[in-house]
Structure 1
């Protein structure tokens, strides 16, 4: 076992990223049942919605899973975190904000805490606040991202040089070679979002999955630069509408409305490319099949082991 598998009680050092309001129990449980750490993203959902997904997930798996709370996004942070304690969720992932005020109470309840960070400064603060694990996310990742636009390859070594707790790499990872690369850099594991969209268990629209299968190496676009709210999306008619709106001038409030979780659901769940968006990381161009989650994780781990052996022979 490495740093995160022992801390989290999982088989493989692979974590599912939070997916906001398109999160669901089916995929979360499938990832945990297959040896990774499944994650429920609370997004902007009401507490009763989040609780329903937690209860369903616990009904589908007895293995650990995480509840991701985006502190700067969720309007119900305290209430949602209380649900994690109430239902004895094994892990809470805190992102998009300062995790420090919440870590002590979560630890008191026996909950492990993962903090998502994008800079060395954030990493140090999260470690000092008591986070058990860090997820360092580069701007290759899908969805909401750091405005600093630091790549995963450059970010991970700098984080590792400044903290002593386990670090998980996120952004641009979708196969065993990516896992091997991050382990070779010194990361204790990886977090993936986009790759899990294109799996058999993921209950997302077939149009979304088809877009990922057909994606090439430049199939994603960055929106939100004009208002300092970076988000990486698949290149669709709606994402082009967003870029045009930015070019013509848009306020941060207007951008927030145009990228709300309800519009996210239109794209991801309804397959509506004209009126909704689909998150997608730069790894989209690597996706060529739609395996079962268990098959994906086992394949990644075997490929990573083989790739690390090959790399060792090159030195």
Structure 2
């Protein structure tokens, strides 16, 4: 048991990243059942939809899971907090905004607070505001990214040095070797998103899963840098269209209109890459199979232990 597993009451130091409006109960429950911490990302969902998702997940597992609230995106932050209290969700993940005003309210109710950051400065502020754990997310990660563009390898050790609470690494991690690597940098666990897409329990279109399996190390792309709204996507016709619009001078509103969660659903759930986009981290090139979540987590832990043993032998 390490700092992360103890704080979150889980078996393995592996948590699921928020997946916005394509979050689903089967995957979240499977991760928690397998010993990790499943997470429901609420994206732009409204309260009724969020509550249904919570109930569906609780019907599939009695293990702890978390709710991710993207503060600057969600139209239902206060309502989601009330649902967390009502349904006794033990962990909240705050991202995409200033968590300071919200942390005390969750702590008063006994909810463990994880804050997602992309800089040392924000990690320190989150700790000062009362966060229990930090997820430090590198530029390798899928979906919405920070403008700082710091990589996981450089960011993790700096955040670890700057704060006294447990640090969870995110971005570019998809196997046990990655888990071992960030632990060597001082992290106590990992957050993964892309790797969990290509699992048997992931309620995503098969086109999405097989697109990840076929991906190489250069098959993700960045859009939105012009607008300060960075997203890492898998290369698809729709993603290429977004980049073309940007290069040709489309305004921010056009970009925002074409990157709503509706288009995310079209790509991820409907599997239509001409009309919608799919998120992907740079780790995609490492994904070559579609295991069950349990198989993936068990394999990761075995690989991590083997990697750490090998490192010790080579020193």
TM-score normalised by length of structure 1: 0.99
Q: How far is the alpha carbon of 1:110 from its aligned partner?
A: 1.1
Shift in Å, 1:81: 1.3
Tell me the residue number matched to 2:172: 172
Alpha-carbon deviations, 1:173-203, whole Å to 9, x = none?
0000000001111100000000000000001
Q: SS at the partner of 1:161?
A: helix
Whole-Å Cα distance in 1 between the matches of residues 72 and 16 of structure 2? Answer: 20
| 2:20 equivalent in structure 1 | 20
Q: Which runs of structure 2 are paired with 1:255-270 in the superposition (5 Å)?
A: 255-270=255-270
- Please give the alpha-carbon distance, in whole angstroms, between the structure 1 residues aligned to 2:295 and 2:203: 17
CA deviations on 1:3-41 (whole Å, 9 max, x unpaired) are 110000000000000000000111000000000000000
**1:42 matched to which residue of 2?**
42
Q: Match of 1:140?
A: 140
Mapping of 1:271-282 within 5 angstroms? 271-282=271-282
Distance 1:48 1:101 in 2: 24
Partner of 1:303: 303
Quote the Cα distance in structure 2 between the aligned partners of 1:186 and 1:159: 9
Per-residue CA deviations over 1:149-179 (Å, capped at 9, x if unaligned) read 1000000011011000000000000000000
Tell me whether 88-97 or 243-252 shows the greater mean CA deviation. 243-252
Whether 2:210 is the aligned partner of 1:210: answer: yes
CA distance in 2, matches of 1:224, 1:147: 10
Q: Cα deviations across residues 217-252 of structure 1 (Å, max 9, x unaligned)? A: 101000000101010000000000000000111222
* TM-aligned CA deviation for residue 147 of structure 1: 0.9
Q: TM-score, normalised by structure 2?
A: 0.99
**In 2, Cα distance between equivalents of 1:225 and 1:276:** 19
**2: CA distance between counterparts of 1:30 and 1:146?**
29
The count of corresponding residues between Structure 1 and Structure 2 is 315
Query: Where does residue 222 of structure 1 map in the other structure?
Result: 222
Question: Post-superposition shift, 1:80?
Answer: 1.1
1:248 corresponds to: 248
**What residue number does 1:159 align with?**
159
Q: Matches of 2:250 and 2:197 in 1, distance apart?
A: 30
Report the aligned-residue RMSD. 0.6
Q: Secondary structure at the match of 2:280?
A: coil
SS at match of 1:301: helix
Q: 1:259: Cα distance to partner?
A: 0.6
In the alignment, which residue of structure 1 is the partner of 2:186? 186
Correspondence for 2:8: 8
In structure 2, C-alpha distance between the alignment counterparts of 1:180 and 1:33, rounded to whole Å: 22
Deviations 1:60-90 (A, max 9, x none): 1111100000001101111111111111001
- Counterpart CA distance in 1 for 2:222 and 2:230 is 7
CA distance in 1, matches of 2:261, 2:253: 14
- Structure 2 stretches of 5 or more lacking a match? none
Per the TM alignment, residue 108 of structure 1 is displaced from its structure 2 partner at its CA by 1.3
Provide the C-alpha distance between the structure 1 equivalents of 2:140 and 2:302, rounded to a whole number of angstroms.
24
Secondary structure of 2:232's counterpart equals: strand
Gaps of 5+ in 1: none
Give deviations 1:253-275, integer Å, cap 9, x for gaps. Answer: 22111110000000000010101
